[in-house]
Structure 1
Amino acid sequence: MHSLRLAAAVLPLLLSSCMLGPDFAPPETPLPAKFSEGAKQSVGDVAVSAWWNSFSDRTLNQYVATGLDKNLSVQQALERINAAAADVTITGAGGLPNLDFGASHTICKARDVTSTQNISGGQLSLTGLLDVFGQYRRSTESALASLDSAHAAVDVAKLALIKDLVSSYIDARYYQQRVSISRANLKSRQETYDLTNFQLEAGAASRLDVSQAEALVQSTIAELPSLELNFRVSAHHIATLIALPSEMVVKQLQKNEGQPVYRGKINAGIPADLIRNRPDIRQAERNLAAATAKIGVAEARLYPAITLSGSITPSYINQRGRRGDISKWSFGPSLDLPILDGGRLRANVETSKSAAAAAYISWKSTVLTAVQEVQDALTAVRRDVRTVNSRHRQVETTEETLRLSVDSHKDGASSLLDVLDAQRQVSSAQSSLATAIQKLAKDHVQLNVAIGGRFAAPMVASPWVEASRVSQQMQTSGPTRNSRALHCGMF
């Protein structure tokens, strides 16, 4: 008798610890030991690196801090964390007992009866599902992985914001620099035009010389509206990203000029670092964990569902000549066994397996794309440096050529055409240098974003508080199409 009682007590514990479906194991894919133009040293955790500080630009730092605090895309991602956390609660509640209480009071009187009958009653019912095959535990596992994915999505949104914001700032400063170059060239060309007009009146220049000098002045004037437009478009985009009035941003940018120059070191780490540092890879891995857990949910629905339910219904009757209590109670299990469903449940299992396999492919694709992005950015940065150095030398050479041409023209040893051509070369060289500096800065941005560099928390106080993270390291599954059999064990 004692052994039967012991078995009856232990059996529910054994059954409640059995879960169908594969357990999750972190996915793997072959990766090179180093990037094609990188070193073999790990970069460590760059997720807390405010790499944009390497531009040494206070205005840029202020914009990034404001964007992390006020950007609408980031705020939307934060709200999705709240929804995902609520889904964890909803999913977990499905496997918990439900307790309901109800009460009633009835007054009745028959037409041919003089007395009135009062009936007071209540009902207390308890229903609980035995999660024998782990349907609700797998569902909770999937919901927790989705919550982790929502947290990673916030990091993805922050990284995308920083990339867009810093790149737009670099563009705005580039167009400011181009405007400054054009205005300086316009001043020089206007002086040449005035000098040519004076020489025409003195008979030392031809009308052709004047026309050529004037054409160069007009072409420079024609450049300015387009450059000013592009500057304002970039400034307007910055204002949108940080949720500030556009005119405020335009006025802030107009207070000073100068292209941002990245002064940080090039340290891309190794490909394995990306698994830890890239938020999109972590998000894909958590999506895979959520999809894998759903295989167990689908498989559990192939098996019986056992429900224990009980209720107590007390009532009190008060009538002239009759008073008393009546209590009813009931308790017992119920079994729900799917027999004929047209193959729907098994098709759901195959669908879940296919979704998990697709999630693994998505994770692998994200990893390989990340490796390519780092290698492309590394290649670009290393070559951009050489280009910028060459453009600097080109500007110095053309400016020296212009000085020599002007002196030679004043001495009558060369024509005005030589001076105008030298001015064109200086203008072209200065514009090319500005473009090279812009590209180098943006490629540095691309490299830091590609390795997952971001700032883990806003740099200024933010009214938007992230939901508390539910972090539970679970042994979940890779996308195997042949799920393992029942895993049973004592709690």
Structure 2
Amino acid sequence: MTLFKPETGSACAVPSRRRKTWLRLGAGLMAATLLGACSVGPDYQRPDVSVPGKWRNTTGETPASVPQLANWWTQLGDAQLNSLISLAVQNNLDVRTAKAKVREARASYKQASSSLFPSLDGAAGLTRSKSSGSDSVGTLWNGGFDAAWEIDIFGANRRAKEAAKYGLDAAEEELRASLLTLIGDLATNYVEARGFQQRLKLAQDTAKSQQSSADLIRKRFQAGSSSGLDVANAEGQAASTEANIPALKTALAASMHRLSVLTGQQPTALTDRLLASSRIPTPKLPIPVGIPASILLTRPDVRLAERQLAEATAKIGQATAARYPSVSLTGSIGTAAADIGDLGKNSSISWAFGPSLSVPIFNAGKLAAGVEIAEAQRDQYFLAYQASVLTALEDVENALVGFTQERKRVASQRRSAESYKSAAELSRSLYQTGAASFLDALDAERSTYSAEDTLIQSRVRLTTYYIALQKALGGGWTGKVETDKPEVVDKNTGPHLSVAY
């Protein structure tokens, strides 16, 4: 802030001259505003990306009709899964972190937007002074305002605002991507947990049945109607099946723990809730998959990469503008008086106004290098955007192949399990009549257990491929997500006494 006492006859003391000054000021501001429409650097355009006209691995079960991506998990018909997903959307820590990033990006956008407007600061002060050899003490009261406005002639501030807006868009897409990943991971772990429950029950029931058979063979051996080899084989098979139970319990517990953490809770929070076994969710056919071009609109990671490319492009203009002159308008008005009552009087008021020009003349290539850095970063985001599209296409094709082939595998495994079950029943009947050896019956039981266990795993993989397909197509949460609420609410943030530690 500049404070001075105007000389007699200065512009601030002559009304007519003051009017001329303000007229010139207005004309200058108008010209500066018109010049402010100029921008340097490339204007962003969404790049054209070549994608196939249709998916290669679609079948009659996965037609190219419009996909039903909104709340796709409800198609599995599992109320417990629906409830857990709603809970996770509210409490998951990764999602809450993404919400905080949206708030940060929104604040950054506001901050960048403020650079387009003038700034005004006020100040006040009191000075007490005493000259050498004098007994009197002088008092000077002063106050005033400083104003500054950088005229954005070459668009540096507008490019910064543009980049911040793209950054806000990217943060919102990152939130959507977090939700997509969360829902996919939770659904996958839920299906796996149900699979482990069914496999555990199968192992427990089979081991119990095999142990009963082993007890029966032991009694027959004691009665002399069976051999010790049959007893050893029967007990060995029962023990082998029992050995699978601890591993299945461990895997089931890990899935439940993961589900609890995904919902933002401590690992064992959902154990009791999920304790009762339930069916493995199965998707309903057909499953529409749309066309490849739709992923450019539905995949949040692709849209995130595109917004990041736009942000990087805007930053090139910001770096380019730094190589051009910059113009600022500064002004101040101040008042000073020996008595506080005299402040604001005409004789104690001073003002100053004027433009300032800054021209980069020599910086050893620093500013040019800044442009090159921004361009190289833009190229990286351009390639990242292309990579995200290719990855999305790959994910869909992989999921389509996996889902189609796993359906065939489930059908084959179902026939296999049914055949082995019939063979086991027949072998037991033949063994009891003496028409077949115990090893034949034992082998049939072992094959039946293996086929049924594999069938359960195949059914889990089928639903998992369905989940992967929905993720690959960009299906996710379509409900409202509150991003304004902070995680930490600070108290007593105004002026207060410091506490020493």
TM-score (norm. length: structure 1): 0.88
Q: For residues 435-469 of structure 1, what are the alpha-carbon distances to aligned partners after superposition, in whole Å with 9 as ceiling and x for unaligned?
A: 110110110010000000011226xxxxx72149x
Which letter maps to 2:398? D
Which letter maps to 1:27? P
Q: CA deviation at 1:282?
A: 0.7
Greater Cα shift, 447-456 or 110-119: 110-119
Distance 1:355 1:412 in 2: 80
Distance 1:333 1:244 in 2: 59
Which letter maps to 2:444? A
- Partner residue of 2:490? none
- Partner residue of 1:35? 55
- Partner residue of 2:427? 405
Equivalent runs, 1:66-465 vs 2, <5 Å = 66-110=87-131, 116-318=137-339, 325-457=347-479, 465=482
Q: For residues 262-281 of structure 1, what are the alpha-carbon distances to aligned partners after superposition, in whole Å with 9 as ceiling and x for unaligned?
A: 22532111111001100001
| Contact 2:198–2:277, Cα closer than 8 Å, also in 1 | no
| Contact 2:63–2:286, Cα closer than 8 Å, also in 1 | no
| Contact 1:100–1:124, Cα closer than 8 Å, also in 2 | yes
Q: Secondary structure at the match of 2:271?
A: helix
Distance 2:346 2:154 in 1: 46
Q: CA deviation at 1:247?
A: 3.1
1:19 has 2:36 as partner: no
Q: CA deviation at 1:113?
A: 5.0
Distance 2:67 2:28 in 1: 53
| Contact 1:81–1:150, Cα closer than 8 Å, also in 2 | yes
| Contact 1:315–1:325, Cα closer than 8 Å, also in 2 | no
Q: For residues 40-63 of structure 1, what are the alpha-carbon distances to aligned partners after superposition, in whole Å with 9 as ceiling and x for unaligned?
A: 8452683xx111112211111111
Q: Using a 3 Å threshold, how does the CA distance of structure 1 residues 411 and 100 change in structure 2: closer, same or farther?
A: same
Q: Secondary structure at the match of 1:466?
A: coil
Q: CA deviation at 1:187?
A: 2.0
| Contact 1:44–1:273, Cα closer than 8 Å, also in 2 | no
Q: Using a 3 Å threshold, how does the CA distance of structure 1 residues 133 and 324 change in structure 2: closer, same or farther?
A: closer
Q: Using a 3 Å threshold, how does the CA distance of structure 1 residues 100 and 21 change in structure 2: closer, same or farther?
A: same
Distance 1:45 1:366 in 2: 22
Q: For residues 169-219 of structure 1, what are the alpha-carbon distances to aligned partners after superposition, in whole Å with 9 as ceiling and x for unaligned?
A: 111111111111111111221221122112112221111111111101111
Distance 2:25 2:87 in 1: 66
Q: Using a 3 Å threshold, how does the CA distance of structure 1 residues 267 and 384 change in structure 2: closer, same or farther?
A: same
Unaligned 5+ residue runs, structure 2?
A: 1-19, 486-501
- Partner residue of 1:481? none
Distance 2:68 2:302 in 1: 14
Q: CA deviation at 1:256?
A: 2.6
1:56 has 2:77 as partner: yes
Distance 1:339 1:414 in 2: 100
Greater Cα shift, 190-199 or 113-122: 113-122
Q: Secondary structure at the match of 1:254?
A: coil
Distance 2:473 2:121 in 1: 53
Q: Secondary structure at the match of 2:338?
A: strand
Q: Secondary structure at the match of 1:342?
A: coil
The higher relative CO (CA closer than 8 Å, separation ≥ 6) is in 1
Distance 2:183 2:131 in 1: 78
Which letter maps to 1:20? V
Distance 1:289 1:145 in 2: 6
| Contact 1:103–1:121, Cα closer than 8 Å, also in 2 | yes
Which letter maps to 2:474? G
Q: CA deviation at 1:162?
A: 1.0
Q: For residues 302-351 of structure 1, what are the alpha-carbon distances to aligned partners after superposition, in whole Å with 9 as ceiling and x for unaligned?
A: 110111111112112249xxx99422211111111001100010111111
Q: CA deviation at 1:220?
A: 1.1
| Contact 1:172–1:235, Cα closer than 8 Å, also in 2 | yes
Q: CA deviation at 1:34?
A: 0.4
Q: CA deviation at 1:382?
A: 0.8
Q: Secondary structure at the match of 1:260?
A: coil
| Contact 1:43–1:267, Cα closer than 8 Å, also in 2 | yes
Q: Secondary structure at the match of 1:272?
A: helix
Distance 2:313 2:188 in 1: 38
% of aligned pairs identical? 32
Greater Cα shift, 100-109 or 172-181: 100-109
Distance 2:155 2:63 in 1: 44
Greater Cα shift, 253-262 or 287-296: 253-262
Unaligned 5+ residue runs, structure 1?
A: 459-463, 469-491
Q: Using a 3 Å threshold, how does the CA distance of structure 1 residues 89 and 248 change in structure 2: closer, same or farther?
A: closer
Q: Secondary structure at the match of 2:443?
A: helix
Q: For residues 209-242 of structure 1, what are the alpha-carbon distances to aligned partners after superposition, in whole Å with 9 as ceiling and x for unaligned?
A: 1111110111111111111111101111111111
TM-score (norm. length: structure 2): 0.87
Q: Using a 3 Å threshold, how does the CA distance of structure 1 residues 268 and 216 change in structure 2: closer, same or farther?
A: same
Q: CA deviation at 1:425?
A: 0.7
Which letter maps to 1:437? R
Distance 1:426 1:40 in 2: 36
| Contact 1:109–1:115, Cα closer than 8 Å, also in 2 | yes
Aligned residues: 456
1:466 has 2:483 as partner: yes
Distance 2:290 2:177 in 1: 20
Distance 2:407 2:287 in 1: 12
Q: CA deviation at 1:7?
A: 7.4
Q: CA deviation at 1:118?
A: 3.1
Q: Secondary structure at the match of 1:90?
A: helix
Q: CA deviation at 1:134?
A: 0.2
Q: CA deviation at 1:112?
A: 5.6
| Contact 2:214–2:235, Cα closer than 8 Å, also in 1 | yes
Distance 1:217 1:203 in 2: 22
Q: For residues 389-419 of structure 1, what are the alpha-carbon distances to aligned partners after superposition, in whole Å with 9 as ceiling and x for unaligned?
A: 1111111101110111111111111111111
